[in-house]
Structure 1
Amino acid sequence: MTSVVFVHGTGVREDSYRKSYQRVARGLARVRPEVRLAPCYWGDTYGAHLALGGASFPEREQDRAVPGADGADDPLAVWALLEQDPFAEIELLADSAREDEGGGFAPGRTDPWDALADRVRALAGAGPVTDTTDTTGDGDAAALAEELGPRLYDAALRVAEELSLRLSGTAPGRDTEAMAARAVVALATRLTEHTEDAEEPLPVDGADRDALVRVLTDRLGGTDRGLKGAASWVGGRLLGDPLLWASSPVVQRGRRPMTGKILPGSGDILRYQGRGTGLRTRIADTVALAREREGGPVVLLAHSLGGIASFDLLAMEPAHGVDLLITVGSQAPFLYEIDALTGLRRGDDLPATFPRWINVYDRRDLLGFVGERVFPGRVTDVRVNLRQPFPRSHTGYFAHQGLYERIAAELP
């Protein structure tokens, strides 16, 4: 009797594996009822866990600078927003003005937003930020201005354009000069990174950033250069966007539960890369037991990280006893290309003992890769269409009936 050993992927724990196992069992029963499905669950033993209860987490500071319980007064929440979109404060204010249905100015009057835009535009011709001393903080505005270079003035022109385009004709706001200064600094930072084709974010000290904002606010004629009011206003709106809010230090309050959610997925990968022998041994033992019990061919059906571990095992162990490897949503070809596999170095050929290999992928699965161009003649790529966006395109394979029909045609 043919045995199919089902090896799960990253982030899976017992309850989830039980459900997946039952789903695979039903799928195989419809197409090949005589096949015996064997479990290979490894999440509890070889997956990642916080064995010390999170002792590695920094303790949250207990002082008056720490945000309140609702997180809406965290000053760095504003910068978390501007990191995503330098015009975000301007856009939020424009949305708020439309909601209020207020504003509007009589013909002949100078629109305050257009006036601010003119002052921002004038920054481009005001010369380098070296002739103004900021005495209200410990940052170095001139050093950061020199780092940002001409991009600082390119940013000023674009911010001025946004102010007129989005806010002209609406009611004037508070601390608008500081808001414009933050937009200029945030955009200049992004433009500098793009110009330099930076591989990582530009290193910017928060004190230097704040000092430069204060200097630019002064040049624009502003008085209130703090973030407290903006943080409360922007923070309240940010609370509705958990992905954006997660980039702010306010998540320190919930760091443990958030890490607990992402640990199984990312932690399993890290642990396997550093301590993968146990998982490969678990797969080998399950294969040996299945062959001993049934005496027939053994197939490894492995998803995601389970496919990587199965690949490594078969590449390293000549007497593996596996007749067919079926990887689903696998990263093995990609890891080979970047020379990150344990079982096979880039440039080395698959051993002659490596079994027949079917690699199933969905083009929308960002974690599913193809192998035919990486291992010519040694793997057959099979494309399925789950009709799901990522990440469901990575987790939905075993709910797809077409997968089992293809598996049925390939099983010994």
Structure 2
Amino acid sequence: MTSVVFVHGTGVRAKSYEKSFARVVSGLGRVRADIRVVRCLWGERHGASLGLDGVSIPVRAKGRGVGGDELLDEDDPLAVWALLEVDPLAELREFAAAAKARRGQGVRAGFAPGRQDPWQVVAGTARGLSLEAVTGGGGSLDALVSDLAPHLGTAGGRVAQEISRSLGGTPPADGIEPIAARAVYALAVQRAEGPHGDEEPLAVDGADRDTVVGALTAQLGGAGRGGFAARAAKGVAVRALNSYLSPLSSLAHTFRGGITKGSVPASGDILRYQVRGAGVRAAIREAVRAEIASGGGPVVLLAHSLGGIACVDLLAEPDPPAGVDLLVTVGSQAPFLYELDALTALRRGEPLPGAFPRWINVYDEQDLLGFVGEKVFPDRVTDLRVNTRQPFPRAHTSYFAHQRLYELLAPELPK
């Protein structure tokens, strides 16, 4: 039986590793029943932490930041999702502002006294949203539903409150359903990731996200599809992002302590690896040694992000672990670091060692931390492109929720 040693990337600790591990087990199990997935959790022992509880972080007393000037491409739905990652209610607020502007221009609400405000009908529906229509489909969609279901009621209630508060009494307007559905989804994701964003970002495939949003949109009375309506809210999203950019720098300074502490596992692991990476490589070596000693079949290293860098460094050492048949890097920076002459065991200009195993490198064009290797190491690396349909940075954490990844790997894994 082929053993796949799953090596995680930066910022991952035991709880989030187990969730990713389960996704890999499920994903590979659907395409190759003969695969055994093996743990390699290095983050608990060799990951970064603030040993002095963040006393090095300065406290900002006063002053304001300067906002950016970059505009959102209104034809890019990923840019809208990137906005909702930051502020789930941004679209809804801009929609309400446009509705109030219409009222200010003399457009009447158009419903008789005593008749229920149509916005309250929408708000009431938002409070009762469910994921029943997309439950039981199997695979990554079920995993997403399981993650979101405990938070859907709270998210729907928050969106209902915003609709009642900001739209009550304003004239009817088309397009609220997909906007409200996206807001509910984004809030549910935010809550699932912890009140301070201290959980690893959910791994979500764009197709699963659109399926969930489509089901919520349909319940709200709109078109039952997950994509963006042709014209509804296009300009809304543009205005929302451009109005939101200005205070971002100031907010970042205000909450710098929490932001810095929250980012330590991800950014700190990278920095720590540069000077303390031997421990990570030793953990991978031991996982491979244990599998070889067990007398099983071929061994594959499946490594994400920083884990991929560590695997390349390990396999390029003078005494690499024996028995690795295939290296699969996912969302990896190893080719980029080679160009920078920043790999530990391989200098720029040096070829991969002759004993280096076959290497498959998976990337998503939306993942700004995923690089390609075929031109860096000609005839030694095969690049496979996937499309999770997620904006960055979620594109970097969603590979293992994307079933197409496993379908591409299935014929490549040794038997």
TM-score between both structures, scaled by the size of structure 2: 0.56
Q: Which residue of 1 aligns with 2:279?
A: 278
Distance apart, 1:60 and its partner CA = 4.7
Residue identity matched to 1:284: R
Match of 2:374 in 1: 372
Residue equivalent to 1:260: 261
Contact persistence 1:318–1:353 (CA under 8 A)? no
* Aligned sequence identity (%): 59
CA distance in 2, matches of 1:307, 1:396: 16
Find the aligned partners of 2:399 and 2:252 in 1 and give their Cα distance: 33
Residue 36 of structure 2 is aligned to residue 36 of structure 1 = yes
User: How much has 1:319 moved relative to structure 2?
Assistant: 3.8
349-358 or 291-300, larger mean C-alpha shift: 291-300
Match of 2:394 in 1: 392
Match of 1:311 in 2: 312
* SS state at 1:327 partner: strand
2:247 maps to a residue whose letter is: W
| Distance across 1 between alignment mates of 2:273 and 2:297 | 30
Q: Measure how far apart 1:100 and its partner are.
A: 11
What is residue 126 of structure 1 aligned with on the other side?
Answer: none
For 1:361, the equivalent position in structure 2 comes to: 363
Question: What's the secondary structure of 1:263's corresponding residue?
Answer: helix
Over aligned residue pairs, what C-alpha RMSD do you find? 3.1
For the residue of structure 1 that corresponds to 2:249, the secondary structure is coil
Structure 1 CA distance for aligned equivalents of residues 371 and 59 of structure 2: 40
Q: Deviations over 1:92-120 (max 9, x none)?
A: xxx99x89979xxxxxxxxxxxxxxxxxx
Structure 1 window deviating more from structure 2 (311-320 vs 278-287): it is 311-320
Give the whole-Å Cα distance in 2 for the aligned partners of 1:273 and 1:101: 59
1:18 maps to 18
Distance 2:403 2:384 in 1: 14
Question: Could you tell me how far 1:84 is from its partner in structure 2?
Answer: 4.0
Q: Distance in 2 between matches of 1:286 and 1:26?
A: 21
The more displaced of 399-408 and 300-309 is 399-408
Shift of 1:29: 1.2
**1:69-148 aligned within 5 A:** 74=63, 76-77=64-65, 80-81=66-67, 84=69
1:290 is aligned to: 291
Of 337, 340, 345, the match for 1:343: 345
| Contact 1:2–1:299 under 8 Å retained in 2 | yes
Which aligned pairs between 1:314-325 and structure 2 lie closer than 5 A?
314-321=315-322, 322-325=324-327
Deviation at 1:349, TM superposition (A): 0.8
Paired with 2:258 and 2:25, the residues of 1 have a C-alpha distance of 33
- The whole-number CA distance in structure 1 between the counterparts of 2:340 and 2:102 is 51
- Quick one: which amino acid aligns to residue 279 of structure 2? G
| Closer, same or farther: CA 246–274 of 1 in aligned 2, 3 Å | farther
Number of residue-to-residue matches in the alignment: 255
Gaps of 5+ in 1: 67-73, 86-94, 103-237
Task: Measure how far apart 1:34 and its partner are.
Answer: 2.1
Residue aligning to 1:57? 57
> Cα offset for 1:58?
2.4
Instruction: Give the aligned residue type for 2:286.
Output: D
Change (3 A) 1:319 1:57: closer
Alignment partners' CA distance in 1, 2:295 and 2:28: 17
Structure 2: tracts of 5 or more residues without a match = 71-96, 106-239
Structure 1 contact 311–332 (Cα < 8 Å) conserved:
yes
Q: Which residue of 1 aligns with 2:385?
A: 383
Q: How far, CA to CA, are the matches of 2:102 and 2:69 in structure 1?
A: 23
Which protein has the larger Cα radius of gyration, Structure 1 or Structure 2? 1
